[in-house]
Amino acid sequence: MNIALIAHDAKKELMIQFCIAYCGILSRHNLYATGTTGKVVAEATGLDITRFLSGTQGGDQQIASRIACNEIDLLLLFRDPLTAKMNEPNEATLLRLCDVHNIPVATNIATAEALIHSLARGDLDWREIVNPKKNSED
């Protein structure tokens, strides 16, 4: 599956800890992230992550375009609604696109935990049935 990772500045450390905890599960999938999030997670975990531009330079829009093309199967968007900054990703667009394309999304650690366990159990395999990948690496 193709998993996108985005974290607001105040949630980057939480994303790192989450990815360390679930490195074994995440390593079996294709990971994509905005620039800084991808950099810090890859450095902390050794995971292979395709990095887009940073959020301030349009990385969230690059991920949104992949969601719009149904190329992302799961979005983990750790947002900080209390101290969000103007230059951080516009999650409304990302969430709307996930709703349009039936892509599971987590905006906090509690939901991310539920989704990662579902992923490990195979509960999200329906994404591969309704959206088969061409030239799949699996």
**CATH code (residue 120):** 3.40.50.1380
- pLDDT at res. 138: 44
9, 48, 60, 80: the active-site residue = 60
**Residue 135 domain-assigned?**
no
Query: Per 3-state DSSP, what percentage of the chain is helix, strand, and coil (rounded to 5)?
Result: 50, 15, 35
**Residue 47 domain-assigned?**
yes
Task: Decide: pTM greater than 0.95.
Answer: no
Q: How confident is the model at residue 128 (pLDDT cuts 50, 70, 90)?
A: confident
Q: Looking at the predicted structure, is the pLDDT value of residue 14 above 70?
A: yes
**Residue 115 domain-assigned?**
yes
125 tagged catalytic: no
Q: Which of 40, 31, 45, 48 is nearest to 7 (CA)?
A: 40
- pLDDT at res. 84: 59
**Residue 137 domain-assigned?**
no
- pLDDT at res. 82: 84
Number of structural domains (the chain) is 1
**Residue 12 domain-assigned?**
yes
Separation between Cα atoms, residue 134 and residue 93, nearest integer Å: 26
- pLDDT at res. 134: 53
Is the model more confident about 28 or about 89? 28
**Residue 109 domain-assigned?**
yes
**Residue 138 domain-assigned?**
no
**Residue 46 domain-assigned?**
yes
Distance of CA 25 to the CA centre of its chain: 14
Is the model more confident about 83 or about 76? 76
- pLDDT at res. 41: 98
Q: How confident is the model at residue 137 (pLDDT cuts 50, 70, 90)?
A: very low
Domain extent, residue 55, equals 2-130
Is the model more confident about 89 or about 33? 33
With a pLDDT cut of 70, the percent of the chain lying above it is: 90
